[in-house]
Amino acid sequence: IETKLPKVGTTIFSVMSHLALQHKAVNLGQGFPDFEPPEALRDALSRAMADGLNQYAPGIGTAALREQIALKTGRLYGHEVSPDSDVTVTSGATEALFAAIAAVVRAGEEVIVFDPAYDSYEPAIELQGARAVHIPLAVPSFSIDWQRVRDAITPRTRMILINSPHNPSGAVLSAQDLDELAAIVRDTPIVVLSDEVYEHIVYDGAEHQSVLRHPELAARSIVVSSFGKTYHCTGWKVGYAVAPAKLSAEFRKVHQYLTFCTFHPAQVAFAQFLASTPEHYLELPAFYQAKRDRFRQLLAPSRLKLLDVPGGYFQLVDYSAIRNEGDVAFCEWLVKEGGVAAIPLTPFYEKAPGTHLLRLCFAKSDATMQAGAERLCKL
Ligand code: PMP
Ligand code: GLN
């Protein structure tokens, strides 16, 4: 058959996790915590299953969970949304991103993405018969050059996809960035898709600049988040989308035929945990900042150059003092010979800039961080 996605192979996350297993490497590649979700949350999940909540959930998500998401959005970002018309629970952020793109973008239209871009964006765009227009972020700040965005807008531009805190760099958008974006999309039909899965992981006292804080942007945005990142349970695959009623209605048309609904027991558990322990996500910045700082301290004696990490749970490092080769080749060598799995940046670019950077995940126990750092310090 003629392939619809000629450029797509197996995602780098699966490739590196497979190599990590094969070579018994410390896996600092694919982004997932190697510690457990809160006990009360796991108990709530077991209880929900024991209580017989094992059939389809309401398609848009349980009322209790949508209520909790709406409460959080109001409390944190000062943005009141209706749990009935503006919040949809999805099977992870991945589904929400795909549904948002499929609901809004038509064949022949363009979506602006910023490189390095999370790898699920472009295939979702291409499957609509649309085109991703790639704008590179500045290195090493990974900031957006808004003039380049202005220059890239055409009558076909239908969506701008932003991601803050950014994967893989950890860069965060400022309130000023959001003003720039608002000025660009004003009086256009452009919808903003904002991937905020690391919304609760920002450091050094900074405040996450959700587009939901910006009323003008919130009125034309679909905001996507993931419970997997916040509650250390990436395998449960529960996320959500927040958007104004009209956009949510379009989003739900796709969602209902993509997955219809999301794992019911987990929705019950998240609703209970959010209601009983709302402080969990408020404690997340300090929790991950301690991990970030510990990891950086462990890597200080190595020959890796550490870039700043304002948000997210990834550390970018420059390895050029160790070997002078491309990042994909270096990561292959590192997993086989150095015993550490990392993620190269090249797969997230349309045109890779030839930097010597790779991504290490520090959502790890102290023992894992130490084992990884020990090997990295030997290089
Ligand atoms: N967007 C970004 C930027 C991510 O890093 C991830 C997961 N690592 C996702 C989306 C997907 O989230 P989920 O696992 O909830 O599908
Ligand atoms: N988003 C995770 C990462 O950046 C991986 C998710 C996946 O494997 N699809 O590592």
Q: What would the mean pLDDT of 274-298 be, rounded to a whole number?
A: 97
Report the nearest atom of ligand 1 relative to the CA of 97: 10
Q: Residue with structure tokens 């965005």?
A: 149
Q: What is the pLDDT of residue 126?
A: 98
* CA-CA-CA-CA torsion sign (267, 270, 276, 278): negative
Report the nearest atom of ligand 1 relative to the CA of 227: 15
Percent of the chain with pLDDT over 90: 99
Domain spanning 12-37+281-377: CATH superfamily: Aspartate Aminotransferase, domain 1 (3.90.1150.10)
* Ligand 1 and 362: CB distance under 6 A: no
Domain residue ranges in the chain: 12-37+281-377, 39-276
Ligand closest to CA 233: 1
Percent of the chain with pLDDT over 70: 100
pLDDT in tens, 170-194: 999 999 999 999 999 999 999 999 9
Confidence of residue 376 (pLDDT cuts 50, 70, 90): very high
* Ligand 1 and 93: CB distance under 6 A: yes
DSSP letter assigned to residue 202: B
The residue whose CB lies within 8 Å of the most ligand 1 atoms, and thus the one to mutate among 167, 259, 348, is 167
Contact between 89 and 248 under an 8 Å Cβ cutoff? The reply is no
Contact between 234 and 33 under an 8 Å Cβ cutoff? The reply is yes
Distance in Å, CA 170 to ligand 2 centroid = 14
Strand 357-361 versus strand 314-318 pairing type:
antiparallel
Q: What is the pLDDT of residue 330?
A: 97
pLDDT in tens, 204-237: 999 999 999 999 999 999 999 999 999 999 999 9
Confidence of residue 265 (pLDDT cuts 50, 70, 90): very high
Contact between 44 and 374 under an 8 Å Cβ cutoff? The reply is no
Element (H, E) at 287: helix 280-299
Confidence of residue 10 (pLDDT cuts 50, 70, 90): very high
- Rounded to the nearest angstrom, the gap between the alpha carbon of residue 291 and the centroid of all alpha carbons in its chain is 19
pLDDT in tens, 61-120: 999 999 999 999 999 999 999 999 999 999 999 999 999 999 999 999 999 999 999 999
What is the fold, at CATH topology level, of the domain defined by 39-276? Answer: Aspartate Aminotransferase; domain 2 (3.40.640)
| Mean pLDDT across the chain | 97
* Ligand 1 and 163: CB distance under 6 A: yes
Distance in Å, CA 359 to ligand 2 centroid = 12
Q: What is the pLDDT of residue 79?
A: 97
Q: What is the pLDDT of residue 300?
A: 98
DSSP 114-162: EES--TTHHHHHHTTT-EEEEEEPPTTT----HHHHHHH--TTEEEEEE
Confidence of residue 296 (pLDDT cuts 50, 70, 90): very high
Q: What is the pLDDT of residue 89?
A: 98
Q: What would the mean pLDDT of 158-165 be, rounded to a whole number?
A: 98
130: left (phi over 0), alpha (psi -120 to 50) or beta: beta
Distance in Å, CA 158 to ligand 2 centroid = 26
* Ligand 1 and 29: CB distance under 6 A: no
Ligand closest to CA 311: 1
Confidence of residue 20 (pLDDT cuts 50, 70, 90): very high
Residue nearest to atom 12 of ligand 1 (CA): 93
Q: What is the pLDDT of residue 307?
A: 98
Contact between 131 and 360 under an 8 Å Cβ cutoff? The reply is no
Report the nearest atom of ligand 1 relative to the CA of 95: 16
Q: What is the pLDDT of residue 352?
A: 95
Confidence of residue 26 (pLDDT cuts 50, 70, 90): very high
Alpha carbons 300 and 194: distance in angstroms, whole number: 34
Report the nearest atom of ligand 1 relative to the CA of 163: 3
Q: What is the pLDDT of residue 62?
A: 98
For the question of an ipTM over 0.90, the answer is yes
Residue nearest to atom 2 of ligand 2 (CA): 31
